[in-house]
Chains A and B, each alone.
Chain A
Amino acid sequence: MRLILDEEQTGLGDSVRALLADHCPPQRVREVMADDGEGIDRRLWTQLATLGMTGLLVPEASGGAGAGHVERCVVLAELGAALAPVPYLSSAVLATDTVAALGDDSLAEELLPGIAAGQQTAAVAVAGTGGRWGSAADSVQAARDGGHWRLAGEAAFVVDGPSADHVLVYADHGWFLADGGAVSWRPSRTLDPTRRMARAEFAGTSARRVPCGDPAGVLEAVWHRAAVALAAEQLGGMRRVLADTVEYAKARVQFGRPIGSQQAVKHACADLYASCEQAEAVLWHAAWTADHDPAALPEAAALAQVVLGPAAFDTAAAGLQLHGGIGYTWEHDAHLYYKRAKTSELLLGTPADHRARLADALCL
């Protein structure tokens, strides 16, 4: 079990961080956020693709890097720290992992080269309108129409749906691939202005059925990997909030001295640090497990969300609090991390769901 990064992995994080510092400063995040369009910084996405980041887990034969979960988590942590408005979680994680778990060669050949090159994106529709992971199987019906299949019904909470070229749908008869442009999208209003989600309405939408012996097993496998990937984003957010808060506590003077010299503030910062250090150990353990010990992944992935979901939100909330009034303004970025953290905490199920998963893994 390896819980620290090697030189190459550290270098990978450094280069992504440098790219984001140059091309994705908070000001850029806000420009994309304010735009009514798809909510994606296409230029940044192309730059990430040029660096080979968009196909990290895609096999080399399909144009990817054939790297591991640890490497992908290194990148996700930086994206989470910068709140980068790119379809990484949707396309390079959820869709890529779904294709991998489905194990269908022709689907992989069709989707992965474009995803890896960053030229196409894909989204995954697995939740129904109630939001439960996998409940799209109850709300999207697939029916055969001659040699084709047609989808009817609704899926929701589809991250980066409207901008996706392809949509992988978990419907009542298993997994389907639909053309993004053929789906009728209703963008949702979202708590987090930097993460777009939409409803997908299917009205006899033409789709291709992906042969799969165990659709629910694929759904589980995708959850485990998504839980690890999202935890990396969450860790990135925690690290950024901690760093910003400590910096502010050193600079902000009240009552004639930096607020960080006050125990009430200092001890709160220490608690954030302690939480962040433990979250970091849990994350790298989960990422290592995804790469090296698949049998232990259900527990490690559930643990990652049990720990990092609430910890990331608590960190964002405490960081905001320690900024005082400025933290409550629209102008300050604290609210963006707060909204992202609450969204991520609930994106793959609630903390109660994650605890139940962990309890299951522990045979409680």
Chain B
Amino acid sequence: MTTGFRERVRDWLAEHAPRSDDHVPEASESAPTEQQLAAARRFQAALYDAGLAGLTWPAEYGGQGLTAAEQQIFQEEAAAYDLPTGVFLISMGMCGPTLVDLGTHEQKARYLPPLLRGEEIWCQLFSEPGAGSDVASLQTRAVRDAAGDWLVTGQKVWTSGAQYAGFGALLARTNPDAVKHRGLTMFVVDMHAPGVTVRPLRDMTGSAPFNEVYFDDVRIPADAVIGEVDAGWAAAVTMLGHERVSIGGSVRRRYDPMTFDSLRDVARVRGVADDPVLRAELAELYAAERKLALLNARLQQQSDAGLAPGARGSVAKLAGAQVLWQAVRVAGLVAGPRAIAWDPGDSSGDALALAITATPASSIAGGTNQIQRGIIGDRVLGLPKEPRVDRDVPFRELRVGTQAR
């Protein structure tokens, strides 16, 4: 039956997948234009109508009720295309699956079908200026009023897609007297509610794929709680688990100036490919890429054999960032002055500069290298945890972020 499914997917994609010049940037790449967004929504609606959206989600809420095997097949077939689904990554990969896991029947019936059709896009509202690696120290607060509604005040940051999202999954502090992990609650927030302000956040590449989101006494009804009140940390862990899977399943763009293949070609074009130093550097870069690819393949084989990667996935995340940093170094050696100035209209110069500029994200976003090493040390190697000063302290008494005291 999966054979028939593969053919169905292949045929449908061949007919409907857009050409690569209609490419919509992924959420983390740069902000899409109105036109690109409309094209993405049309594509997602067609995918939904063809019965190919929400493959593993319950049929009751617009999904297809299929298994991970069909999901895998779809991803394999889709790998040949640049599908314009990047803007839905957070909706479909993180917020939706969390609602499936924790939402009430009413929440699922209301939110999942339009989410799957691409009509309503979601964003994730966790990180704050004062809560990066330590998300549980967040300060945005939700206070219950006499009617049982919640009033939210605070600031979120690094929010992908907030400028076009209809809804967000918001993590806020509902009990500052509890220790920090215990006083959080997750909410559905209407991004168009009064008091929500979205401002683009310009990152070091100069573009603004992310936003800052401000909440100023935003009213959220009682039935918007996802999971239980004060159990938001468990809900956040559920969502971050889905995030890991959805990042792991995403494919690298087909043209990437920071790969061995691309840099070898640059070296050939510049006529420096047989320089012995560059040969050695390129060989080392190849080795670094290859050992990471083999590690990932081995993790996959172990996973198929019943040994889930768990925290060992942090090795791949860490190594992936290190390969990119190595590529930045080799790119400089290979491209030489072309990496610092080029003629207007030379798109390869633009692409290389963007890649060099975007590399720091690899070792910061999704958990810094330092956080990954901590995870490996604590959870893979079983090293003793660092003594914690925040374990038994009510949040109200904690020092967080960069606040002065």
The residues of A with any CB-CB pair to B shorter than 8 Å are 1-4, 246, 249-250, 257-258, 260-263, 265-267, 269-271, 273-274, 277-282, 284-285, 303, 306-307, 352, 355-356, 358-359, 362, 364
**Which listed residue, A250, A273, A355, touches B315 by the CB 8 Å rule?**
A273
Q: Which A residue sits closest to B312, measured CB to CB? A: A277
**Which listed residue, B290, B298, B376, touches A274 by the CB 8 Å rule?**
B376
- How far is the CB of A328 from the nearest CB of chain B, in Å? 23
- List A contacts of B383 (CB < 8 A): 246, 249-250, 258, 260-261, 265-266, 269
Instruction: Report yes or no: B286 in contact with A362, Cβ–Cβ below 8 A.
Output: yes
Stretch from B277-285, B335-343, B347-355 at the A interface: B277-285
- List A contacts of B291 (CB < 8 A): 278-279, 281-282, 303, 307
Q: Which residues of chain B from 278 to 321 have a CB within 8 Å of any chain A CB?
A: 279-280, 282-284, 286-287, 290-292, 294-295, 297-298, 301-302, 305, 312, 315, 318-319
Instruction: Report yes or no: B373 in contact with A271, Cβ–Cβ below 8 A.
Output: yes
13 chain-A/chain-B pairs, Cβ below 8 angstroms: A1-B297, A250-B383, A260-B377, A260-B383, A270-B318, A273-B376, A274-B318, A274-B376, A277-B295, A277-B298, A277-B315, A358-B286, A364-B264
User: Main SS of the interface on chain A?
Assistant: helix
Q: Provide the bound-state CA to CA distance between A271 and B370, in Å.
A: 11
Most buried by A among B291, B305, B380: B291
Most buried by A among B297, B319, B382, B384: B384
- List A contacts of B284 (CB < 8 A): 306, 355
Q: Which A residue sits closest to B302, measured CB to CB? A: A4
Also in contact, A3 and B301, with CB within 8 A (given A274-B318, A281-B291, A306-B284): yes
**Which listed residue, A270, A285, A358, touches B377 by the CB 8 Å rule?**
A270
Q: Provide the bound-state CA to CA distance between A358 and B281, in Å.
A: 11
Instruction: Report yes or no: B279 in contact with A263, Cβ–Cβ below 8 A.
Output: no
Q: Which A residue sits closest to B267, measured CB to CB? A: A364
Q: Provide the bound-state CA to CA distance between A356 and B274, in Å.
A: 11
CB-CB nearest 7 A-B residue pairs: A266-B377, A281-B294, A270-B376, A270-B373, A260-B383, A3-B298, A267-B373
- List A contacts of B297 (CB < 8 A): 1, 3, 281
Q: Provide the bound-state CA to CA distance between A257 and B388, in Å.
A: 12
Instruction: Report yes or no: A263 in contact with B386, Cβ–Cβ below 8 A.
Output: yes
Instruction: Report yes or no: A270 in contact with B372, Cβ–Cβ below 8 A.
Output: yes
Instruction: Report yes or no: A281 in contact with B298, Cβ–Cβ below 8 A.
Output: yes
> Contacts A1-B297, A258-B384 given; 6 further ones with Cβ under 8 A?
A246-B383, A260-B383, A281-B298, A282-B290, A282-B291, A355-B283
Q: Which B residue sits closest to A286, measured CB to CB? A: B294
Most buried by B among A4, A285, A364: A364
Q: Provide the bound-state CA to CA distance between A352 and B264, in Å.
A: 19
- List A contacts of B376 (CB < 8 A): 269-270, 273-274
Q: Provide the bound-state CA to CA distance between A359 and B281, in Å.
A: 9
Instruction: Report yes or no: A250 in contact with B382, Cβ–Cβ below 8 A.
Output: yes
Instruction: Report yes or no: A281 in contact with B372, Cβ–Cβ below 8 A.
Output: no
Q: Provide the bound-state CA to CA distance between A1 and B300, in Å.
A: 12
User: Main SS of the interface on chain B?
Assistant: helix
- List B contacts of A257 (CB < 8 A): 384, 387
Also in contact, A364 and B282, with CB within 8 A (given A260-B384, A261-B385): yes
Q: Provide the bound-state CA to CA distance between A273 and B291, in Å.
A: 14
Q: Which B residue sits closest to A354, measured CB to CB? A: B283
- How far is the CB of A227 from the nearest CB of chain B, in Å? 13
Q: Which residues of chain B from 371 to 405 have a CB within 8 Å of any chain A CB?
A: 372-374, 376-378, 380-387
Q: Which B residue sits closest to A245, measured CB to CB? A: B381
Q: Provide the bound-state CA to CA distance between A265 and B378, in Å.
A: 12
B13 touches A (CB below 8 Å): no
Q: Provide the bound-state CA to CA distance between A257 and B385, in Å.
A: 10
Q: Which A residue sits closest to B278, measured CB to CB? A: A364
Q: Provide the bound-state CA to CA distance between A280 and B319, in Å.
A: 14
Instruction: Report yes or no: B294 in contact with A3, Cβ–Cβ below 8 A.
Output: yes
B151 touches A (CB below 8 Å): no
B135 touches A (CB below 8 Å): no
Instruction: Report yes or no: B287 in contact with A267, Cβ–Cβ below 8 A.
Output: no
- How far is the CB of A31 from the nearest CB of chain B, in Å? 32
Q: Provide the bound-state CA to CA distance between A263 and B282, in Å.
A: 32
B273 touches A (CB below 8 Å): yes
Q: Provide the bound-state CA to CA distance between A257 and B383, in Å.
A: 12
Q: Which A residue sits closest to B318, measured CB to CB? A: A274
Q: Provide the bound-state CA to CA distance between A335 and B305, in Å.
A: 37
Also in contact, A359 and B381, with CB within 8 A (given A267-B374, A277-B315): no
- List B contacts of A3 (CB < 8 A): 294, 297-298, 301
Also in contact, A278 and B294, with CB within 8 A (given A3-B301, A4-B302, A273-B380): yes
Q: Provide the bound-state CA to CA distance between A362 and B289, in Å.
A: 13
- List A contacts of B294 (CB < 8 A): 3, 278, 281-282, 285
Q: Which A residue sits closest to B301, measured CB to CB? A: A4
- List A contacts of B279 (CB < 8 A): 355-356, 359, 364
- List A contacts of B318 (CB < 8 A): 270, 274
Instruction: Report yes or no: B298 in contact with A352, Cβ–Cβ below 8 A.
Output: no
- List B contacts of A280 (CB < 8 A): 298
Q: Which A residue sits closest to B387, measured CB to CB? A: A257
**Which listed residue, A270, A303, A306, touches B381 by the CB 8 Å rule?**
A270
Instruction: Report yes or no: A278 in contact with B387, Cβ–Cβ below 8 A.
Output: no
Q: Provide the bound-state CA to CA distance between A263 and B385, in Å.
A: 9
Q: Provide the bound-state CA to CA distance between A258 and B383, in Å.
A: 9
Q: Which B residue sits closest to A362, measured CB to CB? A: B286
- How far is the CB of B94 from the nearest CB of chain A, in Å? 26
Q: Provide the bound-state CA to CA distance between A359 and B383, in Å.
A: 39
Q: Provide the bound-state CA to CA distance between A362 and B274, in Å.
A: 12
Q: Which B residue sits closest to A361, measured CB to CB? A: B283
- List A contacts of B298 (CB < 8 A): 3-4, 277, 280-281, 284
- List A contacts of B305 (CB < 8 A): 4
Q: Mark B221-242, 1 if CB is under 8 A from A, else 0.
A: 0000000000000000000000
Q: Which A residue sits closest to B369, measured CB to CB? A: A267
Instruction: Report yes or no: B273 in contact with A364, Cβ–Cβ below 8 A.
Output: yes
Also in contact, A358 and B283, with CB within 8 A (given A260-B383, A266-B383): yes
Instruction: Report yes or no: B287 in contact with A306, Cβ–Cβ below 8 A.
Output: yes
**Which listed residue, B319, B373, B384, touches A250 by the CB 8 Å rule?**
B384
- List A contacts of B374 (CB < 8 A): 263, 266-267, 270
Q: Which B residue sits closest to A281, measured CB to CB? A: B294
**Which listed residue, B274, B292, B377, B385, touches A267 by the CB 8 Å rule?**
B377
